Chains A and B, each alone.
Chain A
Amino acid sequence: MTAASFKTAAGAGSACALGVRDLSVNFGGLQAVAGVGFDAAAGRITSVIGPNGAGKSTLFNLISGAIRPTAGRVTLDGADVTGQAPDRLLAAGLARSFQITNLFFELPVLENLRIAAQVLERPWHALHPVGHSRRALTKAEALLDRFGLSAKARELAGNLSHGEQRRLEIAVALAAEPRVLLLDEPTQGMSHGDTADTGALIRSLAGELTVLLIEHDIGLVMSLSDHVVVMAQGRKIAEGTPTAVRADPAVQAAYFGHG
């Protein structure tokens, strides 16, 4: 891995929005992520799959700045953003959702979204009345509508059903209008109907933005993804189109074999 080849990958006009190179982290003796690298093409859906404990969420933590890698690099539109704090990454256009619902449970649903959309405003709006932050309010209301939560706007997020909370989780991640969106098992625990709706919604995001998706529902992965990265025990064991990955014997052994 040299700087030169890096440059080619980013600058070749292949419109790679997110680049991951040799990313690694150790927890004590455990190599949770070991030398993982791939590109997420702009406006496409790239999925990360793998058995439980493969290191998928840890990979997201590394990319989103939640934890620092022990080695490797992350690039956003070619710019090195390795180890940057989550708030700076968000400003650079990268947002994420969480596998374990991570909301402001004691605040109303609309307020969850408004806070998440506040970064769309100028900094000094933080000291103006909330009503002056028109963009944030409009964004929050549009997301309520898009995620079918309008009737619950005044409800506390903690009082929502599990499926509604999972939807709000995605909506909150979208509120800052990111260019790159990381979704960690967005459909986890959802009903079949909600899973299908969420799948359609994620599909509709492609083109608008670059999606990196962790998903256990293989049907959904196969139908949604443009590109699939397969992880097992911290390593990338395969990548390619959904069909190519499904046919890969290593993947079948490590992943589908378990399923």
Chain B
Amino acid sequence: MPEATLRTLSDPGRAGPVSRLSRLAPVHWLALAFLAVALGFAAVAWATGNGFYLRLATEALIFAGLAMSVDLLLGYTGLLSLGQALYFGLGAYVSALVLRDVAPSFWLAMAAALLAGGVAGLIGGVIANRVKGVYFALITFGLAQVAAKTVYNTRALGASDGLIGIPQISIGFGPLSLDTADPLSFFLLVLALTVAAYAGLAYLMDAPFGRTLAAIRANEKRVPFLGFNAWRYKLAVYVLAACVAALAGALYPMLRGFVSPELMFFETSGNAVITVIVGGVGTLVGPVVGSLLLTALRSVVGSWTEHHLIVVGVIFMLSVIFLRKGLVGALLARLGRRTGQGRTTP
């Protein structure tokens, strides 16, 4: 983030579209490298006919969307949300209901989840942003608990069983169409959506909007005296994060064919925070890398012990202690030192 800041600012006169590309920030190069690896993985999995790993990777990308939404709040604005699963689960349930009861339409499900996420984010944001710091974290936690318990106890939503039997759908893109039943197609679709989300959010976070959020994180008290209404900015990013989480959640029933109240539980919210911290706070790539890593780890460790949570917990603590900026942060610092352009905080 600071690298990008400095680059654009140091010579604004030459920030044309062409030179902009050639001087892509290191974090974006990392994102591109990640994309190449993901595509390589898809090719191998497809060639070996391995649908299981494609579906697992798709799930990792879906949870990466949730983690990115946490990063918008935590990494860019300095707001710790312990209840982001509320919006993820909301998106998942809305999508499941639309696909099952209204129409098997991808676009309709996504639009409905986006709308629901936006409205719920607005309500939750108004409530949570009344307070700051640890109280904000507690309120987001409380809101998600209330929502999860409500869903858990609602018959019409399948109560503790959740909703099952979500149909597989075919998604139309003009003349082309793609089937969620096909692991490779759906993986590529989710990968494309993840890349689009990364690009869009990274752009927004480097625009004055995102930099105002960085100012709020750095010193919220000064921000109003520079003419910004900090509350509005915090509400805006909260709604944005809720929308991102809801859209990610909307993909879940398309992959798994069911949704359950666990999607809204604290474990889901907590995992998203862990993912962001392990991957690299305030980088947006970090959450994606972290999600793939932790999903892979859970799957591998889970195959030989029930207690994979212990392993994840230990990794989380190690990364908090030794990699303060997560994997991506450490990588960026290293790249910066190599090329002599990384000036990270001392």
Contacts and interface: CB of A to CB of B under 8 A. Distances in A.
Interface of A: 64-66, 85-87, 90-91, 95-96, 98, 102-108, 110-111, 114-116, 118-119, 121, 125-131, 133-134, 136-137, 153-154, 156, 159, 172-173, 175-176
A21 B12 CA distance: 46
B212 A85 contact: no
Given A125-B208, A130-B207, A137-B9, A85 B219 contact: no
B196 to A, nearest CB: 17
B338 interface: no
Contacts of A125: 208
B227 A87 contact: yes
Given A115-B215, A130-B8, A130-B9, A172 B15 contact: no
B346 interface: yes
A116 B226 contact: yes
Closest 6 CB pairs of A and B: A119-B227, A131-B15, A90-B227, A86-B224, A104-B218, A126-B209
Interface of B: 2, 5-6, 8-10, 12, 15, 203-204, 206-209, 211-212, 214-215, 218-219, 221-222, 224-229, 343, 345-346
**Most central of B204, B208, B229, B343 by chain A CB within 10 Å:** B208
| Interface of B, helix, strand, loop or mixed by DSSP | helix
A124 B341 CA distance: 31
Contacts of A126: 207-209, 212
B214 A107 contact: yes
B5 A107 contact: yes
Contacts of A153: 9-10
Nearest to B11: A131
B227 A102 contact: no
Contact of B221 (A102, A106, A130): A102
Contact of B8 (A105, A118, A131): A131
B327 to A, nearest CB: 21
A104 B219 contact: yes
Contacts of B9: 108, 110-111, 114, 130, 137, 153
B343 A154 contact: yes
Contacts of B346: 159
A91 B225 contact: no
Contact of A130 (B206, B215, B224, B227): B206
A126 B209 CA distance: 5
A108 B2 contact: yes
A42 to B, nearest CB: 21
A107 B215 contact: yes
A127 B209 contact: yes
Given A108-B5, A119-B226, A137-B12, A129 B207 contact: yes
B8 A129 contact: yes
B224 A87 contact: yes
A119 B222 CA distance: 14
Contact of B211 (A111, A121, A137): A111
Contacts of B226: 87, 90, 115-116, 118-119, 172, 175-176
Contact of A95 (B12, B211, B219, B225): B225
B229 A118 contact: no
Contacts of A172: 226
B58 to A, nearest CB: 31
A106 B215 CA distance: 9
A176 B221 CA distance: 17
